[in-house]
Amino acid sequence: MIISRTPLRISFFGGGTDYPVWYKKNKGSVISTSINKYIYVTCRYLPQFFDYNYRIRYTEQEHEKQISSIKHPSVRECLKFLKFKKGLEMQHNADIPAMSGMGSSSSFTVGLLNALYGLQGTMVDKKRLALEAIHVEQNMIKENVGSQDQTVAAYGGLNRIDFGGKEIINITPLNISQDRINKLESNLLMFYTGISRNASKIAKSQIKTTNKKTVDLNKMLALVDEAYRVLTKTKTNLDDFGALLGESWKIKRTLTNKISNIVIDDIYDNAIKAGAIGGKLLGAGSGGCMLFYVRKNKQEKVKRRLKNLLYIPIKFENFGSQIIYKMPNDF
């Protein structure tokens, strides 16, 4: 039996420039971090007592004889990709619900590949794990997804990630002190809006408008450089990071009419009125979690203003996808 643990992520800047339709022709870049909220995938070879070969448990349960009959797209395509031959039992658990804007589907794909490799007795490096998860989601499942979620899930940490060229992904860990990281972390508040949405459908509308949004996407890229400077220059006030979050959100919400809505706008406006310096909706848009940069002395006021939302405490993490449990197969 193998259990993998894979983090979810917060994307601060550059979201939308990590789609291949953009970065294969232009530069793509994001600043993201993995956080201490996780996807857990448990895998073992299925004992040969059953009239099926695959027992798959997530929000549904599947009992199938053939891989091609499995409904869950990531499970089905990962098993095909690895040319899996033996019967399998897989169970999925998560700290935060799916469709929350934190890259959960990509974290699942990364965690599943990691667990399946572990079950086969193979260790793969983080880059291979990220690139193979990108391949499964973009080319096999044909999801409308970018390339940052798989990369953050595999690598972990607070990083700048550049996309394009022969390397496809290039990771630059942010070289800042732990004290500065702690201060940034302590100034972030995250809330669950209670609205779930299909990220792929929203991303599809954004991908369609990519060629018409060159100016806006280049503005978002410029904010990546500016945010990188704010974080890495120790004398720069971190409040500038919060203000840049707000600028980025104002640009992103104009990319398509599916990214924001009246409810999201109302939440954002209330947080700003209560003292947040800036913030954004996480993920593709229309729902999920919202992140705000708020000075410590204003945080209780913001929490009271958004008391109808679920507050989710978060911390950064640095490990990416890991195998946290491994026991020999008794069958």
Q: Name, in order, each residue with C-beta under 8 angstroms of 328's C-beta and a sequence gap of 6 or more.
A: none
pLDDT digits (tens, 9 = 90+) for 225-275: 999 999 999 889 999 999 999 999 999 888 777 777 888 999 999 999 999
pLDDT surpassing 60 at residue 174: yes
Model pLDDT for residues 55-110, shown as the tens digit of each residue: 999 999 999 999 999 999 999 999 999 999 899 999 999 999 888 889 999 999 99
Q: What are phi and psi of 282, to 5 degrees?
A: -85, 145
pLDDT at 234: 85
Range from 93-102, 157-166, 203-212, 224-233 carrying the lowest mean pLDDT: 203-212
Q: What does the pLDDT read at residue 245?
A: 96
Q: Where residue 3 falls among pLDDT bands split at 50, 70, 90?
A: very high
Q: Which pLDDT does position 284 carry in this prediction?
A: 64
| Residue 198 pLDDT | 54
The pLDDT of 206-232, averaged and rounded, is 85
What fold does the segment set 2-175 form as a domain? Answer: Ribosomal Protein S5; domain 2 (3.30.230)
Q: pLDDT confidence of 52, banded at 50, 70, 90?
A: very high
Give the whole-angstrom CA distance, residue 80 versus residue 84. 6
**Pairing state of beta strands 54-57 and 88-94?**
parallel
CA dihedral in degrees (10, 130, 92, 195; nearest 10)? 30
Fold classified for 178-311: Alpha-Beta Plaits (3.30.70)
Determine the average pLDDT of the residues in 169-191.
96
The DSSP line for 4-27 is: EEEEEEEEEE-TTTTSHHHHTTS-
Q: If you average pLDDT over residues 178-182, what whole number do you get? A: 94
What integer best gives the mean pLDDT of the chain?
A: 92
137-146: average pLDDT: 94
Of all residues in the chain, the percent with pLDDT exceeding 90 is 80
Are the C-beta atoms of 37 and 8 separated by less than 8 Å? yes
The angle at the Cα of 270, spanning 266 to 276, to the nearest 5 degrees, equals 130
User: How high is the pLDDT of residue 99?
Assistant: 82
Q: Where are the domains of the chain?
A: 2-175, 178-311
What confidence score (pLDDT) does residue 254 get?
A: 82
Q: Is the pLDDT of residue 47 over 80?
A: yes
* CA atoms of 170 and 327, how far apart (whole Å): 34
Tell me the CA distances in angstroms from 280 to 104, 150, 236, 246, one per residue in order: 18, 21, 21, 7
Q: What is the pLDDT of residue 212?
A: 64
Q: Do domains 2-175 and 178-311 have the same CATH topology?
A: no
Quote the pLDDT of residue 331: 61
